Structure 1
Amino acid sequence: MKKIAVFGKPANGKSTLSKKLALATGIKLYALDSILYKPNGEQVDRKSYEELHESILSYEEWIIEGFGPMDSVESFNKRLEEADTLIYVELPYFVTYWLVTKRFLKGLFIKPEGWPEGSSVLKGTLESYKVLKLCPKFWNDRFMQRLEKLSADKSLHVIRTVSELNSFVERHVQ
């Protein structure tokens, strides 16, 4: 485990899992939302994002958490190819909708885990709901088949329950 890609739908616990993983392994964590957004909540320009993403991929060790810009499937695919460990958090949709709602309600009082500095929790929540409606077009059986093929020489972990998510680091990091 030296190059780890953690990905999946919004609010599925990727940030929390990635932080635990970084702590347990000592590998530097790069949360894509923190790279994608400026402190005022605006997106950085695409060229800057892509250059930084490419730079991170060249490092010997990394944990990259998130998907990145919705139209950056090429960067996402390259990250999957470069990684030696793929962690796909695929909680059921009803759980994900609840987690987005819970993050919003909690976010009214405390900044959500991994939330970009200065970003609106309301705006982010509405964006998460919008993204969730589109997710079945991307996170589907065809993606899973592609992921399984891609992972022939990698370690692939698919997390489908909150209990698997909560115990992942303890079970997989010595």
Structure 2
Amino acid sequence: MNKVAVFGKPGSGKSTLSKRLASATGIQLHALDSILFNPDGSQVDRETYDQAHGSILESDRWIIDGLGPIGSFYQRLEAADTLIYIDLPYPISYWLVTKRMLKGLVVKPEGWPDGSSVFKGSLESYKFLKLSPKFWNDDFMQRLEQASVGKSLHVIRSVSELNRFVDEQAFTSK
């Protein structure tokens, strides 16, 4: 496990899992939101994003958390040796987005881009979740299985699996 892509719907626990995995492995974590947005919360231009993303992919070890522009997502799947798809049921993802939004009214979530509204970001997450079945579907799963040939693929489908994942990986890698 040297190049790890962590992806899934909004509110699926990608950031939490990625932080725990980075801590357990010592691999540098790159949250896509940190390269997609400027410190004031505005989105960076595509060229700046592509350069930053490409630089990360060229490095020897990385964990990248998020989806980002679709072209870069597929580049990441190709470059990664480990794919972690968090596929929680929709009601749980909606609940986790809501929980993040409510907590965000008091404290900015860790890793949340400075200057970016947690409330507005949560509304965008709700919109994305509504559209998600058009992307995160059986066709995607077939493409993912094809893209994972020769790689390690982990599909996490419950909060309990999500909570156990890092500990189980640490145990199996010894």
TM bracket, shorter-chain basis: over 0.9
Which amino acid counterpart does residue 116 of structure 1 have in structure 2?
Answer: P
Alpha-carbon RMSD: 0.8
Separation in structure 2 between the aligned mates of residue 157 and residue 25 of structure 1, nearest angstrom:
17
Once the two structures are superposed, the pairs formed by residues 29-40 of structure 1 within 5 Å of their partners are: 29-40=29-40
Aligned residue pairs total: 171
Q: Deviations over 1:78-117 (max 9, x none)?
A: 1000000000001000101111111111110111233112
2:6 corresponds to: 6
The answer to whether residue 154 in structure 2 is matched with residue 153 in structure 1 is: no
Cα displacement (A) at 1:73: 1.1
Contact map agreement 1:8 1:14 (CA 8 A) in 2: yes
Contact map agreement 1:16 1:114 (CA 8 A) in 2: no
The answer to whether residue 73 in structure 2 is matched with residue 103 in structure 1 is: no
Separation in structure 1 between the aligned mates of residue 53 and residue 8 of structure 2, nearest angstrom:
18
1:129 corresponds to: 126
Which amino acid counterpart does residue 98 of structure 1 have in structure 2?
Answer: W
2:137 corresponds to: 140
Task: Give aligned-pair identity as a percent.
Answer: 68
- Which runs of structure 1 show a deviation greater than 2 angstroms over 4 or more consecutive aligned residues? none
Q: Give the SS at the match of 1:7.
A: strand
Q: Deviations over 1:111-132 (max 9, x none)?
A: 1233112210111011001111
Which amino acid counterpart does residue 31 of structure 2 have in structure 1?
Answer: A
Q: 2:83 aligns with which of 59, 81, 86?
A: 86
Separation in structure 2 between the aligned mates of residue 129 and residue 170 of structure 1, nearest angstrom:
30
Cα displacement (A) at 1:17: 0.5
The answer to whether residue 72 in structure 2 is matched with residue 75 in structure 1 is: yes
Once the two structures are superposed, the pairs formed by residues 11-90 of structure 1 within 5 Å of their partners are: 11-68=11-68, 72-90=69-87
Contact map agreement 1:15 1:113 (CA 8 A) in 2: no
Contact map agreement 1:28 1:63 (CA 8 A) in 2: yes
* Structure 1, gaps ≥5 residues long: none
* Structure 2, gaps ≥5 residues long: none
Separation in structure 2 between the aligned mates of residue 114 and residue 142 of structure 1, nearest angstrom:
31
Cα displacement (A) at 1:74: 1.1
1:166 corresponds to: 163
Which amino acid counterpart does residue 16 of structure 1 have in structure 2?
Answer: T
User: How high is the TM-score relative to the length of structure 2?
Assistant: 0.96
Q: Deviations over 1:6-58 (max 9, x none)?
A: 00001111111101100110000000001111111100111100111011100
The answer to whether residue 142 in structure 2 is matched with residue 117 in structure 1 is: no
